[in-house]
Chains A and B, each alone.
Chain A
Amino acid sequence: MRRRQFLVLSAASIGGVLVYSLDRRASRLFAQEKSSQSLKIPLRFFTEAEALIVAAAASRIFPSDDSGPGAKEAGVVIYIDRQLAGPYGRDRYRYTQGPFVEDAPREFGYQGKATPREVYREGLKDLKGFDRLSPEEQDKQLRQIESSHFFALLRQNTIEGMFCDPMHGGNADMVGWQLIGFPGPRMSNYADVDKHYGEAFRPKPVSLQQVVGRKVRPSEDEDLK
């Protein structure tokens, strides 16, 4: 059994998050409470050192800057941690029988043996100390691994963590959806679909739980007792 690891974040770094801990206990933190208070988030897969590197790398892929909040505010690292701990991380839904032809042409998709968990664990070894580098040095290091399968996963998972339904641990407070004007699962657009031609129509985002009025079990929790 692995020693329980935590990611300690300052309260100000995450928008307003409903974070589920490993034992399904919810710790809620509101945006208004921006203080020096820190939040200890139990990790499901990463060690604390790994989580800090992933958080830093996701922040370079999707930075927080003048054009709006990024991976940090959305809690992308929490999203990725949960995905890797769940069925996706262990390749539950991929055909994983050999033989494996690792150097197959691009048109055949990823043919490797390593699961997303293994790809991350291996890839993170090359990024030791990454979170302590300057942004310029971080970008330089990411450019060196840009064509790797690990980076492709990291980039894809970062986008997922920005724009998934908040029940998956990312898109905290729907910051990702607000950033692009996506309203989430609205039950009806009947009255609006053929109106607003050429004008932005931006209903207030709602999450799936708000829409269906109950908690929905996300796929990454399949393995949890």
Chain B
Amino acid sequence: MKTLRSTDVVIIGGGWTGLLMAKELGSRTALSVVVLERGGPRKTQDYAADMDELDYFVRLHMMQDPSRETVTLRHSPSERALPIRQFGAFLPGSGIGGTGEHWGAVYPRLLPDCFELYSKTVGKYGVKKLPEGHSMQDWGITYDELEPYYARSERELGVSGKAGNLKGKKIEGGNIFEGWRSSEYPMPPVKTPYFSDLFGKATKSLGYHPFSNPVAINSEHYTNPDGMSRAACAFCGYCERLGCMIGAKAQPTNTFLPVIQKQKSVSIRTGTSVRRIVKDTAEAYGKARGVTYIDVSGEEIFQPADLVILASWTLGNNHLLLLSGIGNPYNPATGKGILGKNLTHQVSFPAAQSFLEKPLNRFMGAGGIGMRIADLEGDVLDQSNLPFIRGGIFQGHSVGYQPIAIFGSVPRSVKSRWGAEWKKASIEYYDRTGTVSFSGEQIPYKGNYIDLDPTYKDHAGDPLLRLTINWRENERKMVEYMTAKGVEIARAMGAKEINPFPGYGDYDVTRYQSTHLQGGTIMAPSPERGVVNTFLQHWQVPNLFILGASTFPNTGSANPTPTILALTYRTADAIVDRYLKNPAPLA
């Protein structure tokens, strides 16, 4: 193994969090920073030639290559896990920018009570209301503490939307149920395509409060505080699962990367597969000394570093800690240990597939744009008389639809799935089908967790990560209740026929949910209950910080990226302002 010259900081992962940390350390300190990214380099100019549904939307060419590295999954600890041979329910990224390159760019904050899920729920409904087998706990940080960091991330990425709660003042047309905001969004909402407009009008007629999805997609030309200037969105429809060829969708490569490339103290090494974080003792705790990785040529390298930042998405973060023997793996049988605990996946499903009278022109759109309602979300929804806790948001998306993915959706009155009758109906409904979709919270359970698989191996011969996860009564009841609400909305939109969602059975690896796996290296105000403190610093290895949604003790119904970036800013401040002066535990 070759040993390189020591660096001050090594960052594992070149996605949203890794590059944000690199940019902050590069611009605010004199530290030498090395970013290690397993995938290849990327740039905006490459993306025009990628406007191909087959290779990118269907064959998933921007995603992690499962032939090299995947995970196994099972529904309960008594089952044998099977490998996810092709990604479906979630789509992990790889390469510079990570999933941040091909995301949908929805940019909602978490509801304030998501950070205090346990105490707020018990306070409002009592302990008896808590679902069986839950492992809910508070984060140890509040929305109020995080608000300035949310605002900072919105200015940096450029977010389009309309505030519904400016310093406590409710504003019609925005999300009046959101947590307070210190400032308006940097840009006005994006344009509203027809289907989303129908959704907005229908939900309003039902007494809900629709608003335009906040998105990190430019509604107009935008220049961020770093001076990065980007064009307005053209609604080409080749968006999620792809990078943006004009840079209108905020991505790490068009926001953070150009700043980093001017910083001499930061270097990025692509094609580097990190295998271990190396400690100074054989014990589970101690100090990190650096990392080992395999480079493009296959050579094994040791990169010593004083500070290690783990920024490898939920799967990579858990995998590297488990492989490196850092921390105490969670054991669901005894309840002991913490690493791997509280694996969650945001509830997400098409509540009502709606077959409408008029054509929708739905090839036009972008990422996560559309209208949504938050009237049934979190503590906004009174759960006293409901058979579940928590809730979520409904949306009428206009993502820009591609034909291979959506052709063939027909009302249930059409029985065939191939042949003349099916073909005719599929053509008729091709541009008349819209989906009222729902995203909600999955609460954490003692039985949903992450460890290493005893059977299956990755390209380097290391064990695959094993996910043990399933839906439970709380999610199934929520899905049932929300499906009925979604059907009401579809009716109000004038749907001729509606295919309601059939419900949640067992966790299905083939149906796309969202790329929002969370937990495993959760934060907590004490080392007994979390892997990291609220500054995302490892409780027992103080020179190791862990960034990303793996640190969330529970999901929100909101997509995680805004909270991930807000927390990363807070950690960057804590490292620059406190840790570098005194490299010790921050909490």
**A1: CB under 8 A from chain B?**
no
Q: Count A-B contacts at CB 8 Å.
A: 182
A20 at interface by CB-CB < 8 Å: no
With contact pairs A162-B407, A165-B53, A180-B403 given, residues A187 and B236 touching in the complex (Cβ less than 8 Å): yes
Check A186/B361 contact, CB under 8 A, given A97-B457, A109-B85. no
CB nearest neighbor in A for B234? A188
- Chain A contact-residue range equals 35 or more
Which residues 40-86 of B have a CB within 8 angstroms of A?
48-49, 51-55, 58-61, 65-67, 70, 73, 75, 80, 82-86
The stretch among B30-38, B263-271, B344-352, B418-426 that forms the contact with chain A is B418-426
Instruction: Say whether A107 contacts B59, CB under 8 Å.
Output: no
The SS class assigned to the B binding surface is loop
Contacts of B138 in A (CB 8 A): none
The docked-state distance in angstroms from the alpha carbon of A163 to that of B52 is 11
Residues of B within 8 A of A211 (CB): 48, 51
Proximity string of chain A (127-160) to chain B, C-beta cutoff 8 Å, 1 when within and 0 when not: 0000000000001001000000000000100011
Chain B contact-residue range equals: 35 or more
Using A62-B423, A139-B419, A218-B52 as known contacts, say yes or no to A95 and B510 having CB atoms under 8 A apart: no
Tell me which of A111, A155, A159, A185 contacts B238 (CB under 8 A).
A185
Interface pair B84/A109, CB less than 8 Å apart: yes
A contacts with B: majority SS:
loop
Note all chain B residues with C-beta closer than 8 A to A6: none
| C-alpha spacing A177/B34, complex, angstroms | 47
* Chain A residues, Cβ within 8 Å of B61: 219
B156 within 8 A of partner (CB): no
Residue B509 at the A interface, CB < 8 A? yes
A15 interface residue (CB < 8 Å to B): no
**Judging by beta carbons under 8 Å apart, are A95 and B197 in contact?**
no
Complex CA distance for A42 and B538, rounded to whole angstroms:
60
Closest B residue by C-beta to A200 = B359
Looking at the complex, which one of B236, B424, B456 makes contact with A97 (CB distance below 8 Å)? B456
Most A CB contacts (10 A, CB to CB) among B88, B361, B431, B455 go to B361
Contacts A60-B419, A164-B54, A185-B51 given; does A180 touch B427 at CB 8 Å: yes
B469 CB to nearest A CB, Å: 11
Minimum CB distance partner of B88 in chain A? A109
User: In the assembled complex, how far is the CB of residue A210 from the closest CB belonging to chain B, in whole angstroms?
Assistant: 11
Q: Are A88 and B59 in contact (CB under 8 A)?
A: yes
Beyond A196-B194, A200-B359, is A111–B85 a contact (Cβ under 8 Å)?
yes
Residue numbers in B under 8 Å from A108 (CB-CB): 73, 82, 84, 509-510
Stretch at the interface among B10-18, B281-289, B323-331, B500-508: B500-508
Write the A212-223 contact mask toward B (1 if CB under 8 angstroms, else 0): 100010110000
Q: Is A194 close to B, CB under 8 A?
A: yes
Instruction: Determine the distance from Cα of A168 to Cα of B497 in the docked complex, in whole angstroms.
Output: 35
Given contact pairs A95-B85, A190-B235, A200-B359, enumerate 16 new A-B contacts (beta carbons under 8 Å): A63-B423, A67-B423, A93-B59, A97-B456, A108-B84, A109-B510, A111-B83, A139-B419, A159-B407, A160-B58, A163-B404, A177-B403, A181-B359, A186-B236, A198-B194, A199-B359
10 nearest interchain CB pairs? A185-B51, A188-B234, A163-B403, A198-B358, A193-B235, A189-B364, A194-B191, A200-B359, A67-B424, A107-B508
25 CB < 8 A contacts A-B? A60-B419, A62-B418, A62-B423, A63-B419, A65-B423, A93-B59, A93-B66, A109-B85, A109-B86, A110-B86, A177-B403, A180-B427, A185-B236, A185-B238, A187-B48, A188-B235, A189-B363, A192-B364, A194-B191, A194-B197, A199-B359, A211-B51, A218-B55, A219-B54, A219-B55
